[in-house]
Amino acid sequence: MPTDEITAAAAGTWMLGDRRVHRMGFGSMRLTADPDRDRAIAVLRRAVDLGVNHIDTAAFYRSPGGTLGVWTGPVRYATELIRAALAPYPQDLVVATKVGFACDESGRVGEAATPVDLRRQVEENLRRLGRDHLDLVNLRIVRRPGRDSVAEPFGALAELRAAGLIRQLGLSNVRLDHLDEASRIAPVVCVQNSYSVDHNRGDDDLLRACAERGIAFVPFFALAGSRREAGAATDHGAAVEAVAAAHHATPHQVRLAWTLHRGPHVLAIPGTGDPEHLARNVAAGALRLTAAELATLD
């Protein structure tokens, strides 16, 4: 499908807490794997030019670290790239970040963060973004069967929200019982989980619960599916390929369109370091699938 003149507005909007955002956003994780800093900055600026006003990041998006591969240059944080590219920030831009992992000096994530760790991560986000408050902070948990309550860490973030350091709160990598528990402590405006047309469909019930409560559901790895950090999926299945051919679109565009069709409260945050991929991702917000096509994909 053509990408000319298609902006993030084509995907529609959603009230993310008290801020209206386009439902097609941008994820910044992969920018830290690009040794070309100028290109990463250019992609961020192009995203905003295309109407993206919801950018996702995290305290632990950095290089080297995680599964982003061997890194030989200086440590680079996604939050610092965002600041370099976009400060002073557009008034309508929402930068959502995540905290929750304790990281070692190499950037590799480990145990769940303590309340002290969480405050330090919030303060690091403020410093690296150059902000006096954070628009949205998602608590990213490490699920531990039998001992994975979110009450203590979410309560710590609620205190930082009350102190004015955070505007809105969300959750990441959670179940419905986590959402119930957190909602008794402070308002939750979004849930961010790994979810795609062919991955983690056990979260369909959680997605529907968010819709009923007016909470945004924000899938990550919508393009990667079960490949997760390894990158965008290459094996899409016959149904995705057939729908893509019918619309003269790419399978990745169909994946994003399917994501947005899951409900008006669903936001997409595909990430890329390639400006052409960025334009195609944004254009997917204009792709309208029929009921029959959606049934086939499901």
Annotated catalytic sites, by residue? 61
Distances (CA, A) of 227 to 58, 119, 255, 284: 20, 32, 14, 21
Distances (CA, A) of 114 to 111, 148, 163: 9, 13, 18
Residue 109 burial by CB count (10 A; 0-12/13-18/19+): exposed, middle or buried? middle
Nearest to residue 54, comparing CAs of 88, 31, 82, 33? Answer: 82
Q: Which positions ≥6 away from 281 have C-beta within 8 Å? A: 24, 223, 252, 253, 256, 268, 270, 272
237 is written with which tokens? 């299945």
The Cα 181–Cα 147 span in angstroms is 13
Q: Which positions ≥6 away from 91 have C-beta within 8 Å? A: none
